[in-house]
Structure 1
């Protein structure tokens, strides 16, 4: 008689492969699915973008002190932001091509070093003109970092989880923003305004620590590296502007509409990011500590918005997520800018949904733009479209600066809502890419 025990019968749905949780299940399944090398790439891109955000916000947070120190009007202070964003388009496009030609990690290192060096240099500026030049050069690195880091991680992520993975990368912007607000509150509480703004810029040296770790620990995704090595046409601007033919669809349409989409979203976002600190301090008469407190609600909403938007872009699709939060962001701007005097508690509370909506719309960008372009020109396509949006969108905060003297900053903020309307229209010319595998 056989002594072999009978096979164990499991209830339906509990057999291996038919219901047992896999490595990609659960709240952090997207992170486990990246693998060890992918997680190191995630860490490098997350840290790079957080510190990119930190270095960017040294300007909006010190804008009032800068204006007093150099005797600037609203238009001149707005120009500091505009020149950063305009030059970032050049930096982003160049970094994208570089990423296609020499690899994602090498390009990432170069962008981080560039924005760190010139942020520190801003702290030594003897006059407005020099500050303007240093801020422009800072834009070269600032423009390239996000596109390169997003592509690096997108090429490790699975199609199933790419939206929430890149949404988590995007959330690092809120982390860097929060760190900048904490340092701003401490520095401006302990030092006079004339010195404090310089100290804020000098703290922009923090990314140097990250550079050492990235250089030792982060590598490009193997399949993407192989594809770039085999494709002689990689990193071509001509390719992303190639019109389609009857037998071969080109990328011109995608590039034009993706640039318009980026322009609308970033025009709305940078209007708020640039002018809300000034609005709170000058028109709402909040102290440095008070401004930091109000920004805490805004940034908390932003962080949760990035994570939520990343999840929704996988569930709803890239286009529906952007449409939804374009509408909600426009509504929140109009409400925030029209809160009556004396209702600062309402201003505090509304900061959370404002930060949530204007950040959730960004969560799908990393995955969406990566999926719109093939590997050989993914850096060039994403770098160009995202940063062209930054450059053209820079018109929005500049316009607010010039209108602020007659309309007030709060009144002029409503101009940012127009940007979200432009973004919604741009989606009509773009395809849905949810579930698309990267070659």
Structure 2
């Protein structure tokens, strides 16, 4: 019996059973904090350009299409990152991919501070996007794989709240820094996460990933280290793990994404991500420039108005984190898309003639969009097995970046040719269609182990 038990250590079944009996502990909070700071700055760097452009646009005499291209340049880099880092995280591990993505986006943020003209900033922002786009999907995969089934939604999303907090931080810091000491300092601040690679080296590799790669001794060692820290911090021995029986399948990651079991999940996820981030990036990255160019607000006032919308979005993210385990995933996503669609339809109908009207209605829409934007980072890792979780999440993020790249450029063209109201009609249609898809096809994952949902 002892030999049989020892032979099982570090297998997928053993790792899942041991994770399921772990309480949320000081160790989990430490890991969530270290990775969370990196994710906060990912959000910060993502939107920093939006709060720089109200100053740069007149200074460099940028046209509306040039502004749209600069706003979406990072997203082009994120397209490539979504394809690369998901694949790389499956091959070399979550931790190594995470460290490299952080280094790339931090150092390129510093490089952006030294941009000398439109073309140089366009190139540097595109390169920075490669790191920005790699960090969040890999980090979310790592956090999800440390989580047990009970309360997984709240645990994971309380971590993911740091991303919308980073978006809000970019607005607040931008409003304080850019008008006072210049736009370059916003990019210098965005380079701070480079120092996070040192504490990241102390975190273990994902035991689930190690076990799925048949590196059983390493999986056992990583998990044993976590267990010792939990027992030391709580002062109590962990209970004996309860045996789990899993259906094991061996297939290539891409076969999982498009195979008969997962194809519907894949397509549903892609549609939800695309619609959500088409609205998110289209709305948020243009708001400061719209306030300044359409409603003729000062740079400071334009950034302050944007802070209000970001703050309401953060409230939507908090609402998602606190309520996600109280209802079905399908219900949560479809209702949130419906709320966003109604808000966008109203903006289109009234065709706002004042900045106050746009801020009020846009903030309501952002509440619902932010709810979805954080929720999909929980849902998507749940619907794929460990062997393809990182690439499945990254593939969904890829389509979000495609939509995010199209959104700012489409808005720039629409404002010139069709007027401001037409932009929000497009958002409303996208949100409506995604809400229907979510209601019909989203799978239920609450309170089930990742291996049970996705064998």
Residues 384-426 of structure 1, C-alpha deviations (whole Å, 9 max, x = no match): 1122222234212210011122334454244222331232243
Q: Does 1:151 pair with 2:141?
A: yes
| Cross-structure match for 1:438 | 450
| Cross-structure match for 2:51 | 61
C-alpha distance in 2 between matches for 1:37 and 1:226: 21
What are the within-5 Å matches in structure 2 for residues 186-225 of structure 1?
186-191=176-181, 196-216=182-202, 218-225=203-210
| Cross-structure match for 1:7 | none
Quick one: which of 79, 90, 101 aligns to 1:89? 79
Q: Does 1:170 pair with 2:160?
A: yes
| Cross-structure match for 1:51 | 41
| Cross-structure match for 1:25 | none
Counterpart secondary structure, 2:450: coil
- Whether the 8 Å CA contact 2:352–2:421 is kept in 1: the answer is no
| Cross-structure match for 1:11 | none
Counterpart secondary structure, 2:434: helix
Question: Which has the higher mean CA deviation after the structures are superposed, 348-357 or 118-127?
Answer: 348-357
| Cross-structure match for 1:243 | 259
Quick one: which of 403, 406, 418 aligns to 2:414? 403
C-alpha distance in 2 between matches for 1:190 and 1:145: 30
**Normalised by the size of structure 2, how large is the TM-score?**
0.80
- Whether the 8 Å CA contact 2:257–2:263 is kept in 1: the answer is yes
Quick one: which of 299, 307, 311 aligns to 1:300? 311
Quick one: which of 124, 131, 136 aligns to 1:134? 124
C-alpha distance in 2 between matches for 1:91 and 1:235: 24
**Normalised by the size of structure 1, how large is the TM-score?**
0.83
Q: 1:113 to 1:205 in 2, by over 3 A?
A: same
Quick one: which of 272, 280, 284 aligns to 2:291? 280
Residues 205-235 of structure 1, C-alpha deviations (whole Å, 9 max, x = no match): 111232332223x32343443223459x999
Counterpart secondary structure, 2:279: helix
Q: Does 1:359 pair with 2:375?
A: no
> Number of matched residues?
397
Q: Does 1:372 pair with 2:383?
A: yes
C-alpha distance in 2 between matches for 1:254 and 1:325: 19
| Cross-structure match for 1:228 | 213
Q: 1:117 to 1:105 in 2, by over 3 A?
A: same
Q: 1:128 to 1:348 in 2, by over 3 A?
A: closer
Counterpart secondary structure, 2:146: coil
Superposed displacement of residue 298, structure 1: 1.6
* Structure 2: gaps of 5 or more residues: 1-21, 217-248
| Cross-structure match for 2:399 | 388
Counterpart secondary structure, 2:387: helix
Superposed displacement of residue 150, structure 1: 0.9
C-alpha distance in 1 between matches for 2:271 and 2:173: 35
Counterpart secondary structure, 1:434: coil
Q: Does 1:117 pair with 2:128?
A: no
| Cross-structure match for 1:263 | 274
- Whether the 8 Å CA contact 1:264–1:423 is kept in 2: the answer is yes
* Structure 1: gaps of 5 or more residues: 1-31
Superposed displacement of residue 266, structure 1: 0.7
Counterpart secondary structure, 1:34: coil
Q: 1:264 to 1:342 in 2, by over 3 A?
A: closer
C-alpha distance in 2 between matches for 1:432 and 1:83: 36
- Whether the 8 Å CA contact 1:124–1:198 is kept in 2: the answer is yes
C-alpha distance in 1 between matches for 2:187 and 2:404: 24
Q: 1:276 to 1:234 in 2, by over 3 A?
A: farther
